[in-house]
Structure 1
């Protein structure tokens, strides 16, 4: 089977991690796998190439206008003669599905519980074979708005650590906390991290926190750390490579995940696979599925800071409890969230759908509502407008 994964870019993140893992599995099953970026390459482009995948990019700035780019992407995908195309928040490809042949299986994957993600994935849904949601919450949201749309729930999978490099837990030593993800409060709740550490110190709990990631609230978080006098305890280390993040998780005791919303929360699974016990915000049909409360980790109601501190204190005071939960976390991930389970589920659906005939509109048609009227504005005018806006802000010292 010839399969294409389509992404807007290859930046470090949960979507790209999913694509690499599932792509690896397909290759091992004898499939031909192409990884296509429709907007720009991104910093994981070479990583995908090093894993033996055929990686291509069709930069958006090379097209005269976004609407022309969508047509180019559609023709690009059609020329690949793919048996299946898996879309991952790639709006130009999503808009051009009807340009594909009727024997190509088209599957958008919904990775996050976010309005824009739903808007892109469900656009042109009448031309898709089916949708995949990464969690029960995502599937319920789609069914509530589009009950006629076929959608399947398939959890992400992670690989087990190659060696048992789990960190030891010695009584009386600082509890090593870690946060991994975008440094953004709106979704990820990163400002709670400082309050959690302050609460732990107040209760006499020795902790160290490592923050891995970058984002729009990085500077604000750094300011909060400085103002609280926590520079020696809270380390913001920026982004790390895929392999480095997995090593970081295995060297910490507790993952903090104070997200307001998630599609799946992949980092919670990666942490448990490494023996790092998650303490996360309760998100119905997401974290209560990925984390077994009191067994493989803890869930906090409404990001209540005192609950975070109380649960961290339990793990700090009782070394045996942390060790027991760490072992349970590793076993649970191996049993429920393996790459093999994820890969088998996708392959079974793709193989079954190939036996069906799916009729698409043969005429040259795009999903205009997804692109919007700005898609007709030529790229050079869009670039000129952005340049003038930046120059104006700099001239008048207007903050973005």
Structure 2
């Protein structure tokens, strides 16, 4: 079986999921290949050229409308002799929409990576055209089944997972008392979802010996540096980090700080726990609670509670034995429940089941009638001021 996974190689969680899933599905006789598009002449991002061996890059005229890209994507899918496709909802709007137009004999699997109203609206639009839906967290499945009427028998939870072996060679030396704790933020530098603009307030409340490394890139990096400059004491901006360098980076830090407003199930969190980097994360119902057992293998705080974060870190700074216990328990949690082997086996079972007995889905739409449905267009929430949206997101999680 050969499956196209809609994603463009990049330094980020969605592509890390692809890489792990590709390796995990191979023993099941399933070949997973990435499929993505870029404007003509752009090519893959520097440093990712070797990923071309695992997928197909579709070049599209940058000035043409969605239909041109959609037709070229369809042509690449048919030319690749794929048996099915995996669409990551809202990773790209054209690729999300195209599942409504593909030939009827192609298997379609939808993966929902986030819990936002916009993500759910997009998923609802294409649900009649997919054979099965995978949610990366329990919260996501509960929302889709209970509130958006997704068929329960065709909606599953498969958590993102990591390749344990990639982290086995990383040594974690205990931090001596007297030396400050090393905190790490790793991910997209974006305030709306990741809450990065809370980081300066958190750091100012910590002991002077604590340091904070910020690894990644994103649209709010400039804003973050404006309030917490690169030359500020105790702050290190590490920039984007290649996947193969992540285990060593995590091993050099004591605490993984995740002040997010909303998530699906972030790969960086699973990776941090695998490396024994103790997670201190926002309490997001059905998401972070799904992997972190508060007080046992990590610590949770209410969304936006910067005072609470500082209190947690200060307590761990004074109790290194507890820090070590949480570190060991975090790694055991991943080894027991979040392995690539388990993730791949679950995906393989769904793909095999759908191939053997495909459930009825809506007939494909004609490509000549291509249009972007309402659920894939910007809604009214898009135009709300950022502070208002952020306030509403915080309230949503606290209620």
Decide which of 47, 51, 58 is 1:48's aligned counterpart. Answer: 51
How big is the shift at 1:241? 1.0
Classify 1:312/1:2 alpha carbon distance in 2 versus 1 (closer, same or farther; 3 Å).
same
Contact 2:22 2:31 in 1 (8 A): no
Out of 211, 214, 238, the position equivalent to 2:214 is 211
Q: Which runs of 5+ in 2 are unaligned?
A: 378-399
Aligned partner of 1:324 in structure 2 is 325
CA drift at 1:367? 5.7
Counterpart CA distance in 2 for 1:367 and 1:133 is 27
2:172 to 161, 166, 173: 166
The CA deviation at 1:42 is 4.2
Question: The residue matched to 2:303 in structure 1 has which SS?
Answer: helix
Aligned residue for 2:56, secondary structure, equals strand
- Distance across 2 between alignment mates of 1:244 and 1:152: 32
Which SS does the other structure have where 2:212 is aligned? strand
Q: Could you say which residue in structure 2 is the equivalent of 1:113?
A: 115
Which residue in the other structure is 1:190 paired with? Answer: 196
Q: Distance in 2 between matches of 1:198 and 1:350?
A: 49
> For 1:62-211, what aligned pairs fall within 5 Å after superposition?
64-88=64-88, 89-149=91-151, 150-160=154-164, 161-201=167-207, 206-211=209-214
Offset, 1:337? 0.6
Q: Does 1:224 align with 2:224?
A: no
Match of 2:363 in 1: 361
User: Is the alpha carbon distance of 1:329 and 1:371 closer, same or farther for their aligned partners in structure 2, counting shifts above 3 Å?
Assistant: same
- The residue aligned with 1:57 is 57
Distance 2:295 2:44 in 1: 39
Larger mean CA deviation between 357-366 and 242-251 belongs to 357-366
How far off its partner does 1:372 sit?
9.6
Assess if the C-alpha contact under 8 Å between 2:170 and 2:248 holds in 1. Answer: no
CA distance in 2, matches of 1:301, 1:113: 17
Aligned residue for 1:393? none
Deviations along 1:68-107, one digit per CA (max 9) or x if unpaired, are: 3213322332333322211123432332324434332101
Deviations 1:31-69 (A, max 9, x none): 3232111346543642424xx52x211133268421232
Counterpart-to-counterpart distance in 2, 1:371 and 1:47:
37
Q: Deviations over 1:147-188 (max 9, x none)?
A: 144321110111221314123221111100000011111111
Deviates more, 1:216-225 or 1:25-34: 25-34
Relative to structure 1, is the Cα distance of residues 304 and 97 closer, same or farther in structure 2, using a 3 angstrom cutoff? closer
- Matched with 2:272 is 271
1:17 and 2:41 correspond: no
Q: Radius of gyration: which is bigger? A: 1
| Cα contact 1:315–1:321 (8 A) shared by 2 | yes
- Partners of 2:125 and 2:373 within 8 A in 1: yes
How far off is 1:220 after superposition? Answer: 1.7
Equivalent pairs, count: 365
Equivalent residues of 1:95, 1:371 under 8 A apart: no
Partner-residue secondary structure (3-state), 2:373: helix
* d(CA) in 2 for partners of 1:238, 1:14: 16
The answer to whether the 8 A contact 1:175-1:206 is kept is: yes
Q: Secondary structure at the match of 2:168?
A: coil
The CA distance in 1 between the partners of 2:364 and 2:301, in whole Å, is 51
**Distance across 1 between alignment mates of 2:80 and 2:120:** 27
When normalised by structure 1's length, the TM-score is 0.84
How far the C-alpha of 1:145 sits from its partner, in A, is 4.2
Question: Is the alpha carbon distance of 1:291 and 1:75 closer, same or farther for their aligned partners in structure 2, counting shifts above 3 Å?
Answer: same
- With normalisation by structure 2, the TM-score equals 0.84
Aligned partners of 2:364 and 2:184: how far apart in 1? 51
